[in-house]
């Protein structure tokens, strides 16, 4: 019996008693039927009342526990909207809510437990935030990874009330002067460009930057030293601006005067606020991708110029014992019927099917979309995997992108990241067969 049913039962008892009292003729004490009904109603009412009391206390406890996790729900929702915004950067960045919910459920299961509730919440939020970053980065181009980290950082700080909306909008748009007649004159024209001065005068209009334009006349030498610094993001700001500005507010000054250092500034900002791991994208590990995959979801390579994933994929198939059940086909004119047959055979026989260059067969994509939907039925072999590759294209079906695991083929930035990638490519057999053990083992 639920709380609503319990209250309904009490109402029915009250209505029944009122009906009997209204219909009874003569002495109420002599009506045995009424007396028996009263006795039964009293007993039932007591039971229902006790049940309602217990249920309401339990519901209150559940609500209290649920409210404690609201910060986790807000963080999860915030991160999902960050993912959704990525589609405005590249049409291949599409994410499904169902897949995201599965990831959040996994975060609940794998995040560190704690006897202290506040610590448990912190562990869950931290684990899920990095899980979203890690899983998403493998499908992002290198040039977008820092932007993704920055968006995560900003949205988290916004949620905590640590980011001023007015200042954030300025950071995104910069200073646009609409009324030059009333613009403050540039006192340091000999070394500061008009574009930079436009940024300063518009920055001067923000509440927390009043007076910054006049400070260039007050401290011209100090501003010049800061402006010509190799690392202005960590150099001392002139006058009271060194102590008056927060880390994010300092970024606006860097953005206004030294936009070439914004990337470095943003990297440091992310590191200081959500951790160094968010500026060190994990190297794509094909083994973990295969482990995370299923026969129901396609695996999609988003291609970069000059990079072909076929050789690496064939090597991975050999590693997983699928070398003899691996089929590759480059799509193009007249290849659609063959591709359809390969997928259908692969679904039945548990093969790996690789369809390369999907962007060359966009007219067949609606048919591929239907085949991907069929992969979810019970007749699909558990070992079947559908691998796809495509250049970024707005015509690529969104439903396939949302259902699949996306990976970019672009080499990572930096020597360290590239060395990690190379070590991940080397198989155990290659290590075992190495003849120069003293040098490489």
Q: How far apart are CA 407 and CA 345, in angstroms?
A: 25
Given a cut of 70, is residue 437 above it in pLDDT? Answer: no
Q: What is the CATH number of the domain that holds 415?
A: 3.40.50.300
- pLDDT tens, position by position, 224-252: 999 999 999 999 999 999 999 999 999 99
**What is the pTM (predicted TM-score) of this model?**
0.81
DSSP-assigned letter for residue 284? P
430/436 Cα distance (integer angstroms): 12
| 225 belongs to a structural domain | yes
| 183 in any annotated domain | yes
What's the whole-number mean pLDDT along residues 195-220?
96
**For the chain, what is the mean pLDDT?**
87
Q: Which residues pair with residue 299 across a beta bridge?
A: 387, 405
Give the pLDDT confidence of 405-425 residue by residue, as tens digits.
999 988 766 566 555 555 555
Q: CA 438 → CA 141, 309, 431, 441, distances in Å? A: 38, 32, 12, 6
pLDDT at 9 over 70: no
- Is residue 97 very low, low, confident or very high in pLDDT (cuts 50, 70, 90)? very high
Q: pLDDT tens, 170-190?
A: 999 988 888 888 889 999 999
Q: What is the pLDDT of residue 376?
A: 80
Q: What is the pLDDT of residue 228?
A: 97
* Whole-Å CA distances, 57 to 8, 46, 69, 100: 18, 17, 19, 33
For residue 370, what pLDDT band results from cuts at 50, 70 and 90? very high
* Structural contact between residues 213 and 201, judged by C-beta atoms closer than 8 angstroms: yes
Rounded CA gap, 402 and 298, in Å? 10
Same domain flag for 193 and 266: yes
CA distances (Å), origin 353, targets 333, 348, 360, 364: 19, 12, 17, 16
The last residue of one of the domains, among 238, 260, 279, is 279
Average pLDDT over residues 388-415: 88
In angstroms, rounded to a whole number, what is the distance separating the alpha carbons of residues 169 and 79? 20
User: Where residue 302 falls among pLDDT bands split at 50, 70, 90?
Assistant: very high
Pairwise pLDDT comparison (34 vs 205), residue with the higher score? 205
305 and 224 housed in the same domain: no
Where do we find the tokens 């110029």? 305
Final residue before a domain boundary, out of 223, 255, 279 = 279
Indicate the residue among 225, 259, 279 that finishes a domain: 279
Task: Identify whether 77 is part of a domain.
Answer: yes
∠ Cα 395 404 148 (to 5°): 80
Coil, helix or strand for 280? coil
Is the predicted pLDDT of residue 219 greater than 90, yes or no?
yes
309 inside domain: yes
Q: What angle do CA 7, 13, 16 make, to 5 degrees?
A: 140
Rounded mean pLDDT, 35-50:
67
Specify the pLDDT at position 6: 57
Q: How far apart are CA 418 and CA 199, in angstroms?
A: 38
Residue pLDDT, tens place only, 145-172: 999 999 999 999 999 999 999 999 999 9
Is 237 part of any domain? yes
Q: Are residues 313 and 380 in the same domain?
A: yes
Q: Count Cβ atoms below 10 Å from residue 387 Cβ, excluding itself.
A: 25
Residue 265 or 6, more confident: 265
Whether pLDDT at 1 is above 60? no
Q: What is the pLDDT of residue 189?
A: 95
| Residues spanned by the domain of 380 | 286-430
Taking only the tens place, the pLDDT of each residue in 261-292 is 999 999 999 999 999 999 999 888 888 899 98
Least confident residue range of 19-23, 203-207, 280-284, 386-390:
19-23
| Token output for 140 | 């992002």
Does residue 65 lie within any of the structural domains? no
Contact 354, 326 (CB under 8 A): yes
Question: Which of 234, 263, 231 is closest to 413 using CA atoms?
Answer: 263
**Residue 439: what pLDDT?**
58
Helix, strand, coil distribution of the chain in percent, nearest 5: 65, 5, 30
Q: What is the DSSP string of 354-385?
A: EEE-GGGGGGGHHHHHHHHHHTTSTTS-TT-E
Query: What phi and psi values does residue 52 have, to the nearest 5 degrees?
Result: -60, -40
Total tally of structural domains belonging to the chain: 3
């Amino acid at each position: 019996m639920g709380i609503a049913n319990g209250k309904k039962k009490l109402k029915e008892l009250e209505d029944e008693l009122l009906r009997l009292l209204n219909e009874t003729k003569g002495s109420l004490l002599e009506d045995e039927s009424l007396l028996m009904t009263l006795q039964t109603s009293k007993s039932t009412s007591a039971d229902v009342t006790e049940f309602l009391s217990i249920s309401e206390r339990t519901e209150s406890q559940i609500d209290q526990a649920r409210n404690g996790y609201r910060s986790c729900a807000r963080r999860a929702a915030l991160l999902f909207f960050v993912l959704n915004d990525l589609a405005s950067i590249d049409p291949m960045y599409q994410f499904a809510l169902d897949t995201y919910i599965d990831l959040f459920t996994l975060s609940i299961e794998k995040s560190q437990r704690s006897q202290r509730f506040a610590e448990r919440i912190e562990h869950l939020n931290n684990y899920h935030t990095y899980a979203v970053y890690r899983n998403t980065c493998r499908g992002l181009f290198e040039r977008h990874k820092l932007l993704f980290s920055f968006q995560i950082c900003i949205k988290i700080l916004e949620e905590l009330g640590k980011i001023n909306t007015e200042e954030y909008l300025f950071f995104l748009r910069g200073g646009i002067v609409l009324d030059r007649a009333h613009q403050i004159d540039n006192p340091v024209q000999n070394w500061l460009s008009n574009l930079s001065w436009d940024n300063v005068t518009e920055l001067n209009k923000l509440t927390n930057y009043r007076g910054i334009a006049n400070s260039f006349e007050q401290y011209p030498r100090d501003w010049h030293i800061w402006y010509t610094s190799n690392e202005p993001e960590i150099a001392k700001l002139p006058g009271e601006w060194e102590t008056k500005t927060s880390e994010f507010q300092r970024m606006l000054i860097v953005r206004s005067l030294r936009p070439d250092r914004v990337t470095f500034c943003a990297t440091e900002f992310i590191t200081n606020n959500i951790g160094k791991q968010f500026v060190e994208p994990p190297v794509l590990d094909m083994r973990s991708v295969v482990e995370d995959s299923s026969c129901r979801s396609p695996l999609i390579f988003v291609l970069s110029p000059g990079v072909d994933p076929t050789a690496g994929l064939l090597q991975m198939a050999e590693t997983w014992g699928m070398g003899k059940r691996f089929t590759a086909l480059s799509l193009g004119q007249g290849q659609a019927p063959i591709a359809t047959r390969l997928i259908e055979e692969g679904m039945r026989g548990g093969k790996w099917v690789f369809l390369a260059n999907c962007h060359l067969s966009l007219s067949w994509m609606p048919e591929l979309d239907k085949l991907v939907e069929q992969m979810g039925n019970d007749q699909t072999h558990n070992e079947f995997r559908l691998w796809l590759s495509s250049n970024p294209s707005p015509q690529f079906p969104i439903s396939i992108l949302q259902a699949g695991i996306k990976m970019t083929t672009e080499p990572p930035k930096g020597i360290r990241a590239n060395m990690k990638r190379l070590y991940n490519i080397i198989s155990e057999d290659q290590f075992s067969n190495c003849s120069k053990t003293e040098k490489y083992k």
